[in-house]
Amino acid sequence: MLGRLLSKQETLVGITLLGLCLLIGAINPVFWTPGNWFDLARSATVMGIFAIGVLIVLISGGIDVSFTAIAVFSMYSTTVLLRNLNYQGGMWLFFLISALIGLGLGLINAFFIARFRLPTLIVTLGTQSMFRGFLLFVIGSRIIRDIPPGMAEYSRAFLFTVTDERGVTVGLHSAVLWLVAIAVLAFVILRYTMLGRSIYALGGSREAAERVGFNVTLTQVFIYAFVGVLAGIAGMIYGGLNRQANAQDIVGQELDVIAATVLGGASIMGGRGSVIGTLLGVMLVVVMSNSLVLMGIPATWQRVVIGAIIIIGTAVPVLRTLRQQRRAVRVETEGESLAPAGGRA
């Protein structure tokens, strides 16, 4: 029982995360302050939503690198639209419009991938460039700091606040509720629905999934449409938290998100991954990225660390699978050698 638990990628990531927290906290006690943890939660929110979308794509056997372009396109376009309309209402309309824009852009990916069976990496590389170019040259590239009142108010929407020993008030932002809700939704879909089974089956083998009766085309349409919606929501959260709309933001974070998802146990070959492991991977990447300064490590080393995470996170599951296969072959060989000769008459 214990050996099976320790063999899981989620357990290894959780142990690594705990050890890293203890190390950083021992080097700099500021790590344990509420303000630092609230900052970590804030940083993990947008990345976590992205990572859940990436998880579903990886499980299905695909790779999506366009989600950040969809996020910034949705966020910036929504802000420009409602600002020009002089909208004075709450944040719900921002999220609705941004999610719908994300849905539309995600369906563009789904069309090329599901209809023409084009490689997912090639399609999303192309649409990433298309979305970003259209945004910059048609909609605009100016940084918008005079945002509508709804966005400004959302930046101060804390679940609760605390005052530290220095008299500084810090708070946990309500955006974390989006991450919790999306994580629960993704967990239910992957664990308890036929749609989730079809996503795993697609990642295992497209041909096998089609033979057992799964509608692969509809499954792929759902996957990339869902990723588009999540990207639209995450982009709007990002804009609200930063109190501005910048068309140059977000794009370029794909590596961090994919690293966190792979580190959490998702296989780039498809067919494997979990929401819990992904969230643990996100927290590990966020803790490392945000805490290197606390440990006295230059921030320029962050890219080196992230690159190492991708290599290690990809290599460990592969090595474990190879070891299991060799053990199975050895057991089978030993069984054949011990079989009585008369049994093969």
* pLDDT, averaged in runs of 10, over the chain (345 residues): 70 88 88 90 96 97 96 97 95 97 98 95 96 93 94 93 79 96 98 97 94 96 98 97 94 88 88 94 88 71 72 72 78 70 49
Q: What's the domain range around 190?
A: 2-335
What does the block give as tokens for 41?
């939660």
CA distance 37 to 31: 7
Q: What DSSP string runs through 146-166? A: S--HHHHHHTT-EEEEEE-TT
Evaluate whether residue 343 is within a structural domain. no
Q: Note the pLDDT of residue 222.
A: 98
CA distance 242 to 203: 36
Q: Contact 72/140 with Cβ under 8 angstroms?
A: no
CA distance 287 to 87: 37
Q: What DSSP string runs through 242-308? A: HTSB-TTSSTT-HHHHHHHHHHTT--TTSS---HHHHHHHHHHHHHHHHHTTTTT--GGGHHHHHHH
Q: What is the CATH number of the domain that holds 134?
A: 1.10.3470
Evaluate whether residue 340 is within a structural domain. no
Q: Note the pLDDT of residue 341.
A: 55
Evaluate whether residue 103 is within a structural domain. yes
Give which of 308, 288, 296, 223 is closest to 44, Cα–Cα.
Answer: 288
Evaluate whether residue 341 is within a structural domain. no
Q: Note the pLDDT of residue 299.
A: 67
Evaluate whether residue 344 is within a structural domain. no
Q: Note the pLDDT of residue 310.
A: 67
Say how many domains are in the chain: 1
Per DSSP, 144 falls in state B
The pTM assigned to this predicted structure is 0.91
Evaluate whether residue 246 is within a structural domain. yes
Evaluate whether residue 147 is within a structural domain. yes
Evaluate whether residue 111 is within a structural domain. yes
